[in-house]
């Protein structure tokens, strides 16, 4: 039996779009008889108290998870082992490019948008030694193909660019693309549900999984929640977190009702939603949530639940 997961970064409160994705990840996992795991991706930004708030909000919606919660900050030896494996196979090289260097290379004629052009790929040892005197190096994967195809339940076979991406940052912190692949493989996660803004990164991660000897997971990149301006929902848009809604008298059950209504699912309970869940019938457009507390299609939180 495989597993699905939800993996928030503890940088702040989850907004309704994040919570909607968590509900979808739970529905996908449970509808396919998978375990549902919780992983905290705290390698980068971690705000004090944010993890407890996030887990409390997920529980308030009625979500439960299987097994203990894992945290990336406690899994550094796993990432170091993967980096060592890749180095031993000559699949990594040092990169000394600054963000400005990469931006200027990306704007050059014939450059592929959003890809690393391989500036440091073939440096000589003397050139690398000279650059080490100036700045620490990041480590990039030496890829052997330009594209990779992943399977997505909602998008079909998706083929995207695979460039020489960073797996270990210059500050020694494992990059997201490495950590997420190592974690998913180690935890037996074969189903990844997340926002469709991350679809373009899936080919890189699927490719790296294969390089490390793992089967890439099946993906489901779900529609995002947007504000009335058509941009990704954020805390600055007003009452979009459970904490903000609670301050206005809206209970978590009403927020769950709003989320399930936005998915076209029965809203009386998560179990009822699970019984009716069919990925093929999910909305194919983003959920627009407005600050007057109307959701997509003009749905309002019932007054009795406020």
116 annotated as ligand-binding: yes
120 annotated as ligand-binding: yes
219 annotated as ligand-binding: no
5 annotated as ligand-binding: yes
CB 66 within 8 A of CB 107: no
Residue with the two structure tokens 């309002």: 300
41 annotated as ligand-binding: yes
9 annotated as ligand-binding: yes
20 annotated as ligand-binding: no
Long-range CB contact pairs, 47-51, < 8 A, 24+? 47/10, 47/11, 47/12, 50/10, 50/11, 50/12, 50/13, 51/10
Question: Which residues lie below 8 Å from residue 120, measured CB to CB, with a gap of 6+?
Answer: 93, 94, 95, 96, 97, 128, 131, 140
97 annotated as ligand-binding: yes
Whole-angstrom distance, CA of residue 43 vs CA of residue 76: 9
β-bridge partners, 229: none
CB 265 within 8 A of CB 203: no
30 annotated as ligand-binding: no
CB 281 within 8 A of CB 264: yes
8 annotated as ligand-binding: yes
| Number of other residues whose CB lies within 10 A of the CB of residue 141 | 24
Question: Which residues lie below 8 Å from residue 44, measured CB to CB, with a gap of 6+?
Answer: 9, 11, 173, 176
235 annotated as ligand-binding: yes
Which residues carry a binding-site annotation for ATP?
A: 235
Which residues carry a binding-site annotation for L-glutamate?
A: 5-9, 41, 176, 194
Which residues carry a binding-site annotation?
A: 5-9, 41, 95, 97, 116, 120, 176, 194, 235
Which residues carry a binding-site annotation for Zn(2+)?
A: 95, 97, 116, 120
């Amino acid at each position: 039996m495989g597993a699905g997961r939800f993996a928030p970064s503890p940088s702040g409160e989850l907004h309704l779009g994040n919570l909607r994705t968590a509900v979808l990840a739970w529905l996908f996992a449970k509808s396919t008889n998978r375990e549902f795991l919780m992983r905290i991706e705290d390698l980068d930004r971690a705000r004090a108290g944010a993890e407890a708030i996030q887990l409390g909000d997920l529980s308030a919606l009625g979500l439960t998870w299987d097994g203990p919660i894992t945290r990336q900050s406690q899994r550094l030896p796993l990432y170091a082992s993967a980096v060592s494996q890749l180095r031993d196979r000559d699949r990594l090289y040092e990169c000394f490019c600054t963000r400005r260097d990469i931006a200027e290379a990306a704007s050059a004629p014939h450059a592929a948008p959003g890809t690393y052009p391989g500036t440091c790929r073939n440096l000589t040892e003397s050139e690398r030694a000279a650059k080490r005197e100036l700045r620490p190096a990041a480590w990039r994967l030496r890829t052997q193909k330009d594209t990779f195809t992943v399977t997505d339940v909602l998008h079909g076979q998706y083929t995207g660019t695979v460039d020489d991406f960073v797996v270990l940052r210059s500050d020694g912190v494992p990059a997201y693309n490495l950590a997420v692949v190592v974690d998913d493989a180690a935890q037996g996660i074969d189903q990844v549900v997340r926002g469709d803004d991350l679809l373009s990164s899936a080919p890189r991660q699927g490719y790296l999984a294969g390089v490390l000897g793992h089967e890439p997971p099946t993906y489901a990149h779900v529609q995002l929640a947007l504000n009335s301006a058509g941009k990704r929902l954020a805390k600055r848009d007003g009452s979009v977190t459970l904490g903000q809604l609670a301050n206005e008298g809206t209970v978590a059950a009403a927020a769950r009702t709003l989320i399930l209504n936005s998915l076209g699912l029965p809203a009386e309970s998560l179990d009822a939603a699970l019984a009716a869940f069919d990925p093929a019938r999910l909305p194919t457009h983003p959920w627009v949530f407005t600050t007057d507390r109307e959701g997509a299609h003009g749905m309002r939180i019932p007054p009795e639940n406020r």
